[in-house]
Amino acid sequence: MRYPTGLSVALLLWALPAAANAASCESYVGQTVAPQTFAAVVARVAAIAAKGKGETAAQVESRKAAALASASGPLVIAKEPEAQEYFEYDAAAQKLGIVEYAFQNKYFNVKKAFSAAGYGGIASETGTDFQAVIEQAEKDVASPSAGNSSGAKQVGKLQLTSKVIYERAAPYREDDWVVHLFASAAPKPHFVGTLPMTLAEATALRPRLKLAFVVEPKAPFFVSGRLKYGATPHLEEVDSTEDFQVLVADFQCGLVLTDAGKVLGAYPTK
């Protein structure tokens, strides 16, 4: 099958079904889709979000909403699995279980990020938010030494980058601090679903599995900035900064697909 590229891909992805329920998620199964990268989505949303000369903040938000609404559909955004161990095979049942942590297993402090970017009161106080870290990387930009001529330790520098989809704050629960994106994932071991297959099929397929989120962007659409954490002696005196990009959107489905883009499973989110 020849995959569409460029604008045709964007139009295809914007036109996929929009209803956030189990039936609409199930409609993806068997389809071949071409998920967009987070970078491609951010470039498009950021361009829409750019403030024109003389525009007020309210006018920018209104224009962004109108531009995205005219696209008539949600976005399908690629997500690399967190680890193959979250695809668990049950030999007795001959099923491959998809654990929720394959979709999301990294931390990001939305409240601090939004506050740094001037958006207060959006994320929760406890850090329990409906969110998914799509990409996260760190790089040492300076190495700490044992000390200088005065005996003082040099402060190392760590540069973090985080690319995140954020939906909303979630209520804190003492009995389960993990926020589950998927309606089916609450009981342990937090399977979002299973795929019937033989052991030989699972062994061949696991390294090729890809993931994607189906999301519907919403105001304020895109938030970016930098967090500065400062030197922390209990963390080996590393002076950390974090550049972040956050796409604000409602989660609708999580997709499990092959490396050729065929959707094997589609699971509704909360």
Chain CA centroid to CA 161, Å: 13
The confidence score (pLDDT) of residue 85 equals 95
- The better pLDDT of the pair 218, 247 is held by 247
The two beta strands, 191-196 and 210-230, are unpaired
The confidence score (pLDDT) of residue 70 equals 58
Residue 193 has pLDDT above 70, yes or no: yes
The confidence score (pLDDT) of residue 100 equals 94
Q: What is the mean pLDDT of the chain?
A: 80
Rounded to whole angstroms, the Cα distance separating 24 from 250 reads: 15
Residue 16 has pLDDT above 90, yes or no: no
- What amino acid is encoded at 22 in this protein? A
Share of the chain above pLDDT 90, in %: 43
Residue 87 has pLDDT above 80, yes or no: yes
Residue 20 · residue 252 · CB < 8 Å: yes
pLDDT band at 61 (very low <50, low <70, confident <90, very high): confident
The confidence score (pLDDT) of residue 172 equals 64
Rounded to whole angstroms, the Cα distance separating 77 from 79 reads: 7
Residue 184 · residue 134 · CB < 8 Å: no
- The better pLDDT of the pair 241, 270 is held by 241
pLDDT band at 18 (very low <50, low <70, confident <90, very high): very low
- 130 forms beta bridges with 168
- Burial code (b: 16+ CB inside 10 Å, e: under 16) for 228-237 equals eeeeeeeeee
Question: Which of 2-6, 193-197, 235-239 is the most confident on average?
Answer: 193-197
The confidence score (pLDDT) of residue 1 equals 34
Rounded to whole angstroms, the Cα distance separating 165 from 53 reads: 29
Q: Phi then psi for 186, rounded to 5 degrees?
A: -65, -50
